[in-house]
Amino acid sequence: MVRFLAGLVTLASFAFADITFNCIGYPSTTGGSFGVSIAGAITKLASNESSFPVWSGSVPGTTSAVEYSYVELNAAGAAVKAETFTRKLNQTTDTHTDNEFFERPITRYNITRLPYTYLATYPSKSKAFKEDQIATLHITAPVASIDALNNQPQSDAEVRVDFRFINANTIYSQTNISLQTSGKSSKEFAKQSYKLKFDTDYNQTFFSRPNLKL
């Protein structure tokens, strides 16, 4: 009887559910996409204008103990590239994955803090930048506009862009954001610094911040 109950508990902890998989990726072929591979079976994931480059989809009947990997697909749905490692969910109670970058095996990593060598005021916590994650910034604009901005970095010209911030569990989008080169002497370098400016008059902010420098 005890063994029977223990078996029920084990089954309950890995109950069948629809697990949602989320892959961040940029297809290398026109019309390409991404999929998730489970035990050799590939399920195609989908993306749209409000979520790209995040590709998502549910696989019915999977459990939280599932082992999986992501696959790049061409326009015909055939695999053109596959991850060389397998993934697992963070917790057995999870019903979805993090937003996981294709071919990047680590999404979260705890970095050991270095001790302060002097008394200092600790910086305020940010809702955006998590210490254990590397976020993805997806910025879109006409190629000609970006080329003109880079070719004349000394100018004060700005380009209107669409902005998307993606971390392990957040997709945050804003449209019609100002992008311009940033700095003074740094504008003489081949690799430019940039400034994203959010128009607070139109309720544009980046987690309550009006500017973001890259």
Q: What is the pLDDT of residues 116-151, one digit of tens each?
A: 777 666 666 677 788 899 999 999 999 999 999 999
Phi, psi angles (nearest 5°) of residue 201: -65, -20
pLDDT band at 169 (very low <50, low <70, confident <90, very high): very high
pLDDT in tens, 96-113: 999 999 999 999 999 888
pLDDT for res 123: 62
pLDDT for res 81: 98
Answer CATH for 13-101 from 2.40.40.20, 2.60.40.10, 3.40.50.300, 3.40.50.1100: 2.60.40.10
pLDDT in tens, 41-79: 999 999 999 999 999 999 999 999 999 999 999 999 999
- Domain boundary assignment for the chain: 13-101, 136-213
| Single pTM value for the model | 0.86
pLDDT for res 34: 99
Tokens 């309550």 appear where? 208
| Cα–Cα distance measured from residue 12 to residue 113, given in angstroms and rounded to the nearest whole number | 38
Pairing type for strands 17-24 and 96-101 reads parallel
Q: Are 87 and 68 in contact (CB under 8 A)?
A: yes
Q: Are 195 and 177 in contact (CB under 8 A)?
A: no
pLDDT for res 10: 43
Q: Which amino acid is at 3?
A: R
pLDDT band at 11 (very low <50, low <70, confident <90, very high): very low
- Please name the residues in contact with 25: beta carbons below 8 A apart, sequence gap of 6 or more: 34, 53, 55, 70, 72, 101, 102
For CA atoms 101, 105, 110, 111, the dihedral sign is negative
